[in-house]
Homo-oligomer: A and B are copies of this chain.
């Protein structure tokens, strides 16, 4: 007897989750789409978005917003923060001591009930820094 929202384990969903895991460096929906299509060429972008949404809801992956307008997806669901390259847009992990929510002064946070603290760090990745250095020498 089927009841409620049955979650089918489709090929598309499996390949999408595997792509997020394998791409590693916080891919965007389009990057995941391109990877998935190497295995399942008829997969549509809507399907990728829908399944990414489901996987986020299920807590299997995390959605990460950076400075740009695209959403990045992260297979590491543990508590950690991100650093984004302002040149190439790449997103990498940062492992810092988490901010202790309970010790935050209510006045400091405009009397909000704090749920989550996200640290978004902007910087230049080693590859882009090297490239910029090369260009400067010319």
CB distance from A114 to the nearest CB of B (A): 4
How many copies of this chain does one complex carry? 2
A121 touches B126 (CB 8 A): no
Closest to A119 in B: B119
Pick out which of these stretches binds chain B: A13-21, A39-47, A88-96.
A88-96
A123 touches B119 (CB 8 A): no
A65 at the interface (CB under 8 A from B): yes
Let me know if A137 is at the binding interface, CB within 8 A. no
B125 touches A121 (CB 8 A): no
Q: Which residue of B lies closest to A117 (CB)?
A: B121
Q: A83 CA to B126 CA in the complex, in Å?
A: 31
A120, CB-defined interface residue at 8 Å? yes
State whether the Cβ of A29 lies closer than 8 Å to any Cβ in chain B.
no
Q: Does A110 contact B (CB under 8 A)?
A: yes
In residues 93-116 of chain A, which contact B (Cβ within 8 Å)? 93-96, 99, 104, 108-116
Q: How far does the Cβ of A107 sit from chain B's closest Cβ, in whole Å? A: 9
Known: A67-B65, A69-B69. A112 touches B123 (CB 8 A): yes
- In the A-B complex, the 6 residue pairs with the closest CB atoms: A112-B123, A92-B110, A114-B123, A113-B124, A116-B122, A118-B120
